[in-house]
Each structure stands twice: as structure tokens, then as C-alpha cells.
């Protein structure tokens, strides 16, 4: 305590303003360690021989309410699951402005009322909450509105990693808002606000949302397949994000089991993860293996088809943005690598191609040539027009480094 020093002239001027011990001490809050502001205030007042005023002209005796604030904080924080918490508060702007004006007038800069309230409410609430305070990445921020003693919780999102299979050619990966009403609901979408009844996102997201008592779900896939394509094999990595989760320790086995009751999609390898994984998932550029059912516009035999397939080993294709996505993507030419292609005849005029391609390859266009927008193309090499009738993703090679 003995290292607490203050300018007696400034202190006398400040005390003359009719400040409570907290507000008086806080003006000198940056000096003297291991001491609360109200103790500082009392020391100053004692040395000046003054009593604490009836009511503080700066804070309106806000600090008398700290126990109540802390109880509200504890009650709210204890109603949700978290490993840690942090207290924040909203103070009447008139008070923070008056505080700044006082600093200016006295020519000093104290600690802000917000900082003191956050810390002191946190101290009182801590034993009632029994979770550590976390400053950097709190799972719960309890924000006290000091005007109404209201507490609002801000809960950090829950992130769940997994892999999915899409077993239907009729559902998209993510929620697809209705084109006409943009989600509000109209006759076109039967008031669902959506183009499709469900999606890979909703099948698992709706269940997880309910289990976690969250507000909204978001789906971050490692790329996406077309609606009419299946996602087979070991599945595609994704991160499901649940906002404002009241429960964090949800049973992922249970979630997987419930989600897998759907015939449209399958989920596996669920585990809790963090926001960093979303970034990694979004930025990943794995090669992919596809299976394409191709119809040739004319007679082809096995030797021709297999020969052309074998010729595409480590071949770069110049792909101009396909006509089918032209309306939503910039028109440009991209170089993409075809690692290998294997062919198998199905019946007359139909064959199956299995091929591994670099991330971002337009496979349908590589096969058809897209009227000369993809060069070279399977169709061009075969000398016969080709169309992909069905396309499935059979592997996402996210574990391997690109060769």
C-alpha cells in the first residue's frame, strides 16, 4: 500500500466533485498495485479529511449494485454449459462521457468505469460460477447492461468436424434459399423459403441445433458436389457450426446415429473442433476421384475408349468457365490437371470413366468439351460427342499431399 502515490492538488479537486470511493480511486487506478479502487479512494479521502458523499455525481452509486449484477451474471452463466466465462458490461454513455470530461478537466487519465465494473463483478461472480475467467477466447461473455441490471449472454459457436456421403441426386449440400422469395416463403417454394426440401446441412444441422440448444447452423464443406452428383467412398470433410449453443457437451455418437436415420445422407467421424478447422477446410485443395457415366453420340468401341482414357495421364486442361455456371462466376480460363482416367464399357454407346483430377476441375466439361471451352477434352480425343449422364464423387484425397 505504501507505494500508492497521488497528486494531492488533483485529488482535492476530484474529491470536491462529489465522487464515491470507487470513482475517486479509479482516477488514480493506474498507480499502486494490489489495491482496489475503492481502497485508493478511501486513502485519498482520509488524507484529505473528507467523508464519502451521499450519492456519487459520476456513477449514481452504480457500485452498490455490484452484488446484484454478479448474481445475475452467475445465474445466467450457470444456465449454459461452458469451460470458462468472461464478464463485460454496457454503461450509460452519459457516464462514460462524463468520466472522459473529468479526466480532461483534471489533466489525468484513470482507469475506465467499464474496466473496473468488468473486473469487480467478475470477482464477485467467480465463486458462484466455479469456472475460470478466460480473456482471450471465452466460451461465454456475460454482458451486464448496468442501466437495467440485464444480463445478455454471447456464446461462442460450437464447431463439429465430420465427413459425409450424399446418397441422393435430389438434395444440395447446403440450404438453398428460394430464388423467388429469397427465403421469406412464397407459392413457388410452398412457403418453405427453400428450393429443396432438405440438404446435407439440414439433416445433421437441425438435429445438432436442437441438441445444443443453439440459434442457427452453418455448414462449411471442403468444396461441394453438384446437386445431381452423389458423394460416395469415405465422404467429404465438413465443419458444422452451431451459433449460441447453450450446451456444448452434446453426445456426438447420438448425433451421428440420429442423422444417419436419413436415407439421403450419411455422416461419420464426428468430433469437436474449432474455427481454425473451418479455415483449413475452406482452403484445402484435395484431388478428387470421380466416376462418370458417359453417353457417346455415335458408335465407339472398347479399344478407342480405353486408348483415349490412357492418353490422359498428367494432362493439363484449359477450362473456360462453363456456360452452366457463367451467370454466377467470372468468365476466365483456368488450367486444371487430369491425373489419370480409367474406362470401362457399359453397353452400346455408354461407358464409365473413373478419373482423378485436381481440385476445381469441371469434370462434366472435361468429358464433353463444352463446345470448345475445355481443351483438350475426352470427347475431342475420342472424335465423338460425349455427355456425362451421371457423376459421382468417390474419393476426396484430403489426407495426401498433392503430387
Q: Are 223 and 363 in contact (CB under 8 A)?
A: no
Please, is 384 exposed, middle or buried when counting C-beta atoms within 10 Å of its C-beta (0-12, 13-18, 19+)? Answer: middle
Residue number, 23 or 229, with CB nearest to Zn ion: 23
Q: Which is nearer to Zn ion, 178 or 289 (CB)?
A: 178
- Measured from the CB of residue 23, what is the shortest distance to Zn ion in angstroms? 3
Instruction: Name the residue nearer to Zn ion (CB basis): 176 or 340.
Output: 176
User: Which residues are at the interface with Zn ion (CB under 5 A)?
Assistant: 20, 23, 56, 58-59, 178, 180-181, 186, 188-189
Which of residues 156 and 174 has its CB atom nearest to Zn ion in the complex?
174
CA diameter of the chain: 107
Least distance to Zn ion, CB of residue 113, Å: 8
What is the grid cell recorded at 163? 465427413
> Degrees (nearest 5) of the Cα angle 84, 86, 88?
165
Closer to Zn ion at the Cβ: 68 or 188? Answer: 188
Task: Out of 60, 145, 226, 228, pick the active-site residue.
Answer: 226
- Minimum CB separation of residue 105 from Zn ion in Å reads 16
Kindly state the smallest distance separating residue 144's Cβ from Zn ion, in Å: 16
Distance in Å, CB of 115 to Zn ion, minimum: 14
In angstroms, what is the minimal distance from the CB of 261 to Zn ion? 28
CB of 52 vs Zn ion, minimal distance in Å: 10
Asked if residue 22 lies in contact with residue 107, where contact means CB atoms within 8 angstroms, the answer is no
The rounded Cα 11 to chain-centroid distance in angstroms is 49
Is residue 226 annotated as part of the catalytic site, yes or no? yes
Q: Which is nearer to Zn ion, 179 or 324 (CB)?
A: 179
CA gap 186, 197 in Å, rounded:
14
- Positions annotated as catalytic residues are 226
Amino acid at each position: 500500500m505504501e507505494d500508492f502515490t497521488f497528486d494531492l492538488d488533483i485529488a482535492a479537486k476530484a474529491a470536491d466533485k462529489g465522487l464515491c470511493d470507487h470513482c475517486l480511486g479509479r482516477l488514480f487506478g493506474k498507480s499502486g498495485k494490489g489495491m482496489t479502487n475503492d481502497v485508493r479512494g478511501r486513502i485519498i479521502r482520509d488524507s484529505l479529511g473528507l467523508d464519502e458523499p451521499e450519492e456519487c455525481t459520476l456513477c449514481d452509486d452504480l457500485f452498490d449494485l455490484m452484488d446484484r449484477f454478479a448474481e445475475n451474471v452467475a445465474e445466467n452463466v450457470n444456465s449454459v454449459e461452458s469451460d470458462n466465462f468472461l464478464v463485460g458490461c454496457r454503461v450509460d454513455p452519459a457516464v462514460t462521457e462524463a468520466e472522459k470530461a473529468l479526466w480532461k478537466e483534471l489533466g489525468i487519465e484513470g482507469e475506465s468505469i467499464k474496466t473496473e465494473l468488468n473486473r469487480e463483478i467478475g470477482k464477485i461472480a467467480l465463486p458462484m460460477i466455479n469456472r475460470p475467467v478466460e480473456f482471450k477466447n471465452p466460451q461465454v461473455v456475460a454482458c451486464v447492461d448496468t442501466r437495467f441490471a440485464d444480463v445478455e449472454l454471447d456464446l461462442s459457436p460450437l464447431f463439429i468436424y465430420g465427413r459425409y456421403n450424399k446418397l441422393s441426386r435430389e438434395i444440395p449440400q447446403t440450404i438453398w434459399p428460394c430464388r423467388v422469395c429469397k427465403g421469406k416463403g412464397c407459392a413457388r417454394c410452398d412457403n418453405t423459403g427453400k428450393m429443396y426440401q432438405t440438404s446435407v446441412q439440414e439433416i445433421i444441422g437441425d438435429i445438432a441445433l436442437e441438441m445444443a440448444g443453439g440459434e442457427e447452423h452453418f455448414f462449411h464443406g471442403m468444396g461441394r458436389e453438384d446437386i445431381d452428383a452423389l458423394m460416395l467412398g469415405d465422404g467429404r470433410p465438413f465443419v458444422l457450426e452451431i451459433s449460441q449453443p447453450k450446451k456444448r457437451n452434446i453426445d456426438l455418437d447420438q448425433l451421428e446415429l440420429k442423422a444417419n436415420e436419413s436415407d439421403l445422407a450419411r455422416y461419420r467421424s464426428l468430433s469437436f473442433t474449432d474455427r481454425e478447422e473451418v479455415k483449413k477446410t475452406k482452403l484445402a485443395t484435395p484431388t478428387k476421384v470421380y466416376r462418370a457415366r458417359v453417353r457417346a453420340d455415335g458408335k465407339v468401341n472398347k479399344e478407342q475408349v480405353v486408348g483415349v482414357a490412357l492418353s490422359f495421364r498428367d494432362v493439363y486442361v484449359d477450362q473456360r468457365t462453363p456456360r452452366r455456371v457463367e451467370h454466377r462466376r467470372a468468365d476466365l480460363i483456368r488450367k486444371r490437371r487430369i491425373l489419370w482416367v480409367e474406362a470401362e464399357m457399359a453397353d452400346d454407346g455408354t461407358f464409365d470413366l473413373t478419373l482423378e483430377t485436381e481440385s476445381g476441375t469441371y469434370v462434366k466439361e472435361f468429358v464433353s468439351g463444352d463446345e470448345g471451352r475445355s481443351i483438350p477434352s475426352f470427347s475431342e480425343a475420342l472424335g465423338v460427342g460425349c455427355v456425362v449422364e451421371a457423376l459421382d464423387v468417390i474419393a476426396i484425397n484430403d489426407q495426401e499431399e498433392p503430387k
